[in-house]
């Protein structure tokens, strides 16, 4: 999953970055409302926005208002001071999906992030199944016919994107956008390498990653 954090407290932002990256997410960070608004205008590959309401230059509520005015349905988790009930209410009324009052437990934030991304993808459970392939997003564990598949962090993230769009075409450019943070040196050629490695590990029985030449990839089940 790809997450944008808009938070001007560098200590808190660093903690969020470490926690979410350890959970397998690609995470980018901005410290002002203007930078958050610009990032959301330029990139449509985010799965979630974690938004502090007390941002400099452009307040978090205005960032949220502009995002929803553009018709974006990106899930938004707002961060507020513990006593700012009015701001929380305004944020939810403007279209935020959830909020957390500072200070908060990082484990709870991880759980809320997973729930919001699931809802954004139209899923009710953290477990995604495609034929005999099962992926637990919370535990980041993949199994085929009940047997664990050893995958690298990048391969797990790639599998997650393909599973969320099983049966649909995903372009190389979309995969780069979903998997890579700003500054990552990952090309579409590198995506081909990751796809090749993932194929060798999961293409058993009725599962395959089909290549649509010049367009992208599709995770599908082979009719029996």
Q: Where are the domains positioned within the chain?
A: 2-120, 127-221
Asked if the domains 2-120 and 127-221 are classified in one and the same CATH topology, the answer is no
Question: Does CATH place domain 127-221 in 1.10.10.10?
Answer: yes
Give pLDDT, residue 123.
67
Give pLDDT, residue 9.
94
Sequence-distant (≥ 6) Cβ neighbours of residue 32 within 8 angstroms: 6, 8, 55, 56, 57, 58
State the 10-residue block means of pLDDT for the chain, 224 residues long: 94 94 91 97 90 94 96 94 82 93 91 88 78 88 91 90 90 86 77 91 86 90 71
Question: Does CATH place domain 2-120 in 3.40.50.2300?
Answer: yes
Give pLDDT, residue 124.
63
pTM for the whole thing?
0.81
Give pLDDT, residue 223.
67
Give the C-alpha separation, 161 to 43, whole Å: 17
Q: How far is CA 204 from CA 17, 65, 199, in A?
A: 35, 47, 9
Give pLDDT, residue 35.
97
Give the model confidence (pLDDT) of 58-102 as tens digits: 999 999 999 999 999 999 999 988 677 888 899 999 999 999 998
Give the C-alpha separation, 9 to 110, whole Å: 19
């Amino acid at each position: 999953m790809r997450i944008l954090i808009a938070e001007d407290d560098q200590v808190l932002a660093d903690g969020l970055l470490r926690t979410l990256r350890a959970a397998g997410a690609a995470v980018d960070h901005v410290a002002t409302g203007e930078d958050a608004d610009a990032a959301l205008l330029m990139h449509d590959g985010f799965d979630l926005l974690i938004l502090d309401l007390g941002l400099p230059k452009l307040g978090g509520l205005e960032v949220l208002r502009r995002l929803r005015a553009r018709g974006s349905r990106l899930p938004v988790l707002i961060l507020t001071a513990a006593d700012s009930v009015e701001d929380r209410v305004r944020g939810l009324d403007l279209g935020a999906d959830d909020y957390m009052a500072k200070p908060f437990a990082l484990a709870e934030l991880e759980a809320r992030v997973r729930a919001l991304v699931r809802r954004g993808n139209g899923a009710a459970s953290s477990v995604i199944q495609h034929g005999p392939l099962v992926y637990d997003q919370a535990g980041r564990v993949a199994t085929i016919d009940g047997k664990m598949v050893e995958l690298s962090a990048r391969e797990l993230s790639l599998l997650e994107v393909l599973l969320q769009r099983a049966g649909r075409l995903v372009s190389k450019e979309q995969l780069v956008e979903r998997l890579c943070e700003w500054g990552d040196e990952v090309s579409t050629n590198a995506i081909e390498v990751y796809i090749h490695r993932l194929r060798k590990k999961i293409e058993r029985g009725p599962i395959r990653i089909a290549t649509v030449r010049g367009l992208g990839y599709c995770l599908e089940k082979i009719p029996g």
